A and B are shown apart, each in its own frame.
Chain A
């Protein structure tokens, strides 16, 4: 009798267990469009070992070189006015506008120009709320910003943290699709600002060199975004990036020497050689023109 009961209970456990596991796998399957790392893992487990995925630097990382160039002067007219907020009424324009304002905030903090930073943080918060980006401890964070309005150094650090928190939230909540759309706009705005900060073209301008090298990051962002091209909003973002990428593609790429890795006198590994992108003044102007056109379409919400 005891043995019979044992097998009966065991059978119930196995039955309930199998239901619970099958439910779990069904939920996972339904979520694969949103869960990037899960989708990657599932594909790899299915034996597709050649799968390559793409990572891209944040817009802050990408344009940190601006700070290094002492000759660049901060221009207030380059950022998107907060008065334009009312133009962004749908999800697509809100996503892109959020990316634009995040890049503007990074630009302000790079130059330690924080007089308007709170206004931009306010706009970013409104857009984030509309897009249901629910940051933990958001209110206390905003309080901290208010308390530090007169402290430039703190405000720079807090503003920087705010952008990072938004990106972290998107990554942690598997909102990769949204992240790709927001980052696309941030890249375009960052490129627009950098191109307009350069006053005169010269072949040896280090800022121009760094601007054209953004081709690599654009490549990775486009490839990353293409995983979500079934989504109409992402498709729009890809189209905007591609218009700029097509100009990048025209630039001449020369291989100065083969890539090698060797140790220097400090026993540090040094990755040398590789390819270099070379452009003419006309090509530079063409890039500036297309980036300005694309950026203005986003800002004016005339896509």
Chain B
């Protein structure tokens, strides 16, 4: 009888795992750190399924505004590295959060409209990939017009 109980437990666990499907669609809006209310949400924000050690890039357009880019990944993905590169052949690195203790945000003012490459990497050790290793990672992008933050002084 005990054996049947163990088998039942194993099978229940197995099927529960296979039934779980990862939905990362809103991960960035639910888990990433938001800037203050003066910033507006950018539709360029993204979430994706990642495996430990994985890296990928996406290209965004930034206007002459202030940007707040925030990142968050599942614990299993380890530290999350973000590199911001120029969108040219050399892909010159402009910012690398590993030089800033893996800060989970990058706040900057952009002076000229341009495309930027955002490279996001999981710094955890790469394992043999399987669907069970896939976990969510999100990049939240917010922006604000610099003038909107300038407050008038006096009455």
Contact, CB under 8 Å: B107 / A268:
yes
Inside 8 A of B62's CB, which chain A residues have their CB? 271
* Cross-chain contact of B44 among A51, A57, A68, A172 (Cβ < 8 A): A57
| Chain A, residue nearest B116 (CB) | A271
* Cross-chain contact of B56 among A21, A44, A65, A220 (Cβ < 8 A): A44
The smallest beta-carbon distance between A261 and chain B, in angstroms, is 5
Contact, CB under 8 Å: B59 / A54:
yes
* Cross-chain contact of A37 among B3, B24, B63, B112 (Cβ < 8 A): B24
Q: B residues 8-67 with Cβ under 8 Å of A?
A: 10-11, 14-15, 18, 24-26, 40, 42-44, 46-51, 54-63
| Chain A, residue nearest B119 (CB) | A52
Inside 8 A of B43's CB, which chain A residues have their CB? 55-58, 61, 167
Inside 8 A of A41's CB, which chain B residues have their CB? 48-50, 134
* Bound: A58/B112 CA distance, A: 19
Q: Is A2 an interface residue (CB 8 A)?
A: yes
Contact, CB under 8 Å: A271 / B44:
no
Inside 8 A of A202's CB, which chain B residues have their CB? none
Q: How many residues of B contact A (CB 8 A)?
A: 51
The smallest beta-carbon distance between A174 and chain B, in angstroms, is 9
Q: Is A128 an interface residue (CB 8 A)?
A: no
Contact, CB under 8 Å: B25 / A270:
no
* Bound: A29/B28 CA distance, A: 26
Interface size class of A (residues with CB under 8 A): 35 or more
Inside 8 A of B147's CB, which chain A residues have their CB? 68
Q: A residues 255-295 with Cβ under 8 Å of B?
A: 259-261, 264, 268-276
* Bound: A264/B109 CA distance, A: 10
The smallest beta-carbon distance between B70 and chain A, in angstroms, is 14
Q: Which residues of B come within 8 Å of A, CB atoms?
A: 3-4, 7, 10-11, 14-15, 18, 24-26, 40, 42-44, 46-51, 54-63, 86, 92, 94-95, 106-115, 117, 129, 134, 143, 145, 147
A259-B92, A259-B94 as given contacts; A56 in contact with B44, CB under 8 Å: yes
Q: A residues 36-75 with Cβ under 8 Å of B?
A: 37-38, 40-41, 44-45, 49, 51-58, 61, 64-65, 68
* Bound: A274/B11 CA distance, A: 59
Inside 8 A of A230's CB, which chain B residues have their CB? none
Add 11 more A-B contacts to A172-B25, A259-B86 (CB < 8 A).
A17-B14, A45-B51, A45-B54, A58-B43, A68-B145, A216-B115, A219-B115, A259-B92, A269-B108, A269-B109, A275-B114
| Chain B, residue nearest A221 (CB) | B61
Q: Is A6 an interface residue (CB 8 A)?
A: yes
Contact, CB under 8 Å: B55 / A49:
yes
* Bound: A262/B55 CA distance, A: 26
The smallest beta-carbon distance between B6 and chain A, in angstroms, is 8
Contact, CB under 8 Å: A274 / B114:
yes
A52-B58, A269-B107 as given contacts; A13 in contact with B11, CB under 8 Å: yes
* Bound: A177/B132 CA distance, A: 28
Contact, CB under 8 Å: B58 / A21:
no
